[in-house]
Amino acid sequence: MVEELTIVGRSVAMKGSGEKVTGTAEYTVDMKLPGMLYAKILRSPHAHANIRGIDTSRAEALPGVRAVITHEEAKILYKVTHGSAREYGIDDRVRYHGDKVAAVAAVSEEVAEEALGFIDVDYEVLPAVFDMEEAMRADAPVVHPERDDVDGNILEHSVQEWGDVEKGFKEADHVFENRFTTQRVCHSALEPHAMVASWDGDGNLTMWSSEQTAFMIRDSLAEAFQMPRSKIRFIVPPHVGGGFGGKYESAEKIVVALLARKAGRPVMLRLSREEVFHTTRTRSPCIFETKTGVKEDGTLVAREVRAIVDVGAYAWGAIMASRAASYMTLLYRCPNIRYVGYGVYTNTPPSGAMRGFTSTPIHYAMESELEEIAYAIGMDPTEFRLKNALNVGDIIPINSKPVTSSGLREAVIKGREAIGWERRQRVPGSEGGVKRRGIGMACYSHYAPMLKSTERSVGNAVLKINVDGSFHLLLGVPDIGQGLRTIMAQIAAEALGGRLDEISVTLADTSVTPWGTTTAASRSTQETGGAVKMAAGRMKGRLLELASDIMGIPVERLDAKDGVVFAKGVPEQGLTFKDILNHPDVFQSGENVIVTKATYNVPTFIPPYGTAFADVEVDTETGQVRVLKMVAASDVGRAINPQSVEGQLEGGMQMGIGYALTEVLRLHPETGAPLNNSFMDYKVLRAGDMPEMEVIIVEPVDPNSVYGTKGIGEMSVIPMAPAVRNAIYNATGARVHDLPITPEVLLKALREKEKC
């Protein structure tokens, strides 16, 4: 029986939206502290070099300069939770074009920028490697020669296997082999990265930064500076202008903190848009070599993937090389699976988390291959997928746990109806003409941190009630624009029987809020939402107890709604929360001071499922692709705020179509210098570029999660690129395997098809 809810499931206005639309919302870049200085970083013009000498005296003498630091002060290791990044504040060796060399704090950004030109650096230029496959060779330049725990440039080598792959391929009636490549892309959040550091007279450090985590950064800073955690306060401001994984952690914080300490003044660092594109974490370029065996009736019997992940100069995304294996086990039944993954250093910008971390690239390869297989064996691609899909009760190989809910079948059926699936070409590329129409689709599932039983997924919440009957919720995770404050308030109001407009929320302040993980991996609604629901339930229980004493009615006969406690069946007779707190017996005894807290351990991983369908028009003379319509049908478990879910899915379409067709951060093949690190040249889709969009929310409420929810933030982008690619294949019959599908790439594929 589905629980009847009144606040969860409603499209309420987002908290803070009024500030955004009126322009009064303040972001980190808007901060101004008394005496604040501004920082700029000198960046390397070489992709790989030792710093033999550096002279900052001319910069220090420039009027307005208050502090200059180099590796001599800043060679401090910033070790993130994942452990493998190994990036220093500033090192005496630079490993990519744009790496940190020195930093200046001055009275203005203009003076700081000018001072960079007065720093003299003697570089010993070293051989560099920019291609991930070349980096794996024994004779390749080594990016991190100081690390004895790395095999040349191979940081990670993961082998994961289920069943007997060789046996499976022998049993297959058809075996398909392919090679897919995906590109380096930038998150392109509207707010550039910014941070402020300030020290007090007692040696306490306070930092403000637009981030997706607060406590992890505080802990990393404490470890880096060898300081007690209690002496570091890290605050994420209420407004963050987008993250998508790009505002996770960065070693620049060491630089800004050191400048502030040396200058004795607060210091702000605001990255330019060019720096954001080239020096912050990007989505890793990947190579996937795939092999799939199927029976004549379309049953999958064996799958094998060899993946190479370019982790860049500093491996903030190293776990991608092993985690990608999970996606081979979550979506389709297959008794024999092997995954071999390599995480490889190159002299390129560091990689890191990006929306659909590891899932988005490998789904492009997996779902593109499945589309081709379906047509090759004469099956409808939607039926082929449904035939092999994991169903409720099926065991997930990677953690040996059953699927407890799935809306995949409903999503496929509704999605193909909405796109007009019957209009697709039964034989890809069979229709002639210069301009050709095609329809394609892709499915997805997604990893979450609680996937394996060995990984702990925990949320915390503190809730206090004010004497006027309103509530204050404290959470250790930030809102990065997706509406977390609103979603958590809806969960709290539902569990309390309270009013949504009477719940305020404070987020991500390590000196005020309880410990929180990170706003990433589509985990917040389950992790933190679970703790919010528990804390609110405890608060409601205490209020019912107090009301029971006042009203003389047993607790089990009481309930609360809209901030009023009433006898069940008699809602018109009751006490408001304010009445209860201010009743003489309660007020005089001090019982009106109520604070509840909760820690929630996510009990099990609940896979999300969904689909994307694309309708495209391809000009075979120019190679131009126009997406005419996209449909996203997604199993979200339960939509806490349906309008928010729709926004996530529409945003995922924009990011996914860009990933498919236009977005790529290009580097010079010989120097590693950026070639298009601005919005002038990096092609993000704008409103006028977007197709007709249709969103279908599928809600198979899962009994094991918080109000049945699963998550949607990352999932929304995962199937978009393969759906677009598969529509292009349906239109032309051209087997495009490389992203992005630019006109040049498509025309080349069309020529190769004509040769066959």
pLDDT digits (tens, 9 = 90+) for 337-354: 999 999 999 999 999 889
| Out of 304-313, 599-608, 662-671, 678-687, least confident range | 599-608
Give percent above pLDDT 70 in the chain: 97
Q: Going from the N-terminus, what domains does the chain have, and what CATH number goes with each?
A: 37-126+190-242+247-279 (3.90.1170.50), 286-451+604-755 (3.30.365.10), 458-601 (3.30.365.10)
| Coil vs helix vs strand at 39 | strand
Is the pLDDT assigned to residue 5 strictly greater than 80?
yes
Residue 449 has pLDDT above 70, yes or no: no
Range with the poorest average pLDDT among 165-174, 319-328, 447-456, 690-699: 447-456
- Across 391-465, the runs of DSSP E, i.e. the strands, are 395-396, 401-402, 435-445, 458-465
Going by pLDDT thresholds of 50, 70 and 90, the confidence category of residue 454 is very low
Predicted local confidence at residue 214, as pLDDT: 95
Mean pLDDT confidence for 666-695: 96
Phi-psi region of 470 (alpha: psi -120 to 50; beta: other; left: phi over 0): beta
pLDDT at 453 over 90: no
Confidence (pLDDT) at 50? 98
Q: What is the pLDDT of residue 1?
A: 46
Condensed to tens digits (0 to 9), the pLDDT of residues 544-598 reads 999 999 999 999 999 999 999 999 988 888 999 999 999 999 988 888 899 999 9
CB 74 within 8 A of CB 254: yes
pLDDT at 83 exceeding the cut of 70: no
Least confident of 515-529, 532-546, 691-705: 515-529
pLDDT at 80: 58
pLDDT band at residue 731 using 50, 70 and 90 as cut-offs: very high
* 554, burial (CB in 10 Å: exposed 0-12, middle 13-18, buried 19+): exposed
Q: Which two tokens stand for residue 186?
A: 């930038």
The residue-averaged pLDDT of 201-228 equals 95
Beta strands in 321-430 (DSSP E): 337-345, 395-396, 401-402
Tell me what the mean pLDDT of segment 462-489 comes to: 95
Tell me if the pTM is above 0.75. Answer: yes
- The whole-number pLDDT of residue 133 equals 98
Q: Mean pLDDT in the chain?
A: 94
**Per residue in 636-647, pLDDT tens?**
999 999 999 999
Q: Among 100-114, 283-297, 315-329, 552-566, which stretch is predicted with the lowest mean pLDDT?
A: 315-329
Element holding 750 (H helix, E strand): helix 743-755
Structure confidence at residue 456 (pLDDT): 63
Q: What is the mean pLDDT of residues 221-234?
A: 96
pLDDT at residue 455 greater than cutoff 80: no
Q: Is the pLDDT of residue 112 over 60?
A: yes
pLDDT computed for residue 694 by the predictor: 98
| Tens-place pLDDT, residues 393-413 | 999 998 888 999 999 999 999
End-to-end CA distance of the chain: 57
Query: Which of 106 and 249 is assigned the larger pLDDT?
Result: 106
* Beta-strand runs (E) in 346-422: 395-396, 401-402
Cβ contact 633:412 at 8 Å: yes
Q: Kindly tell me if the per-residue pLDDT of 491 is higher than 70.
A: yes
| DSSP one-letter code for 423 | G
Q: Which residue in 96, 479, 480, 105 sits closest to 270, CA to CA?
A: 105
Average pLDDT over residues 426-437: 94
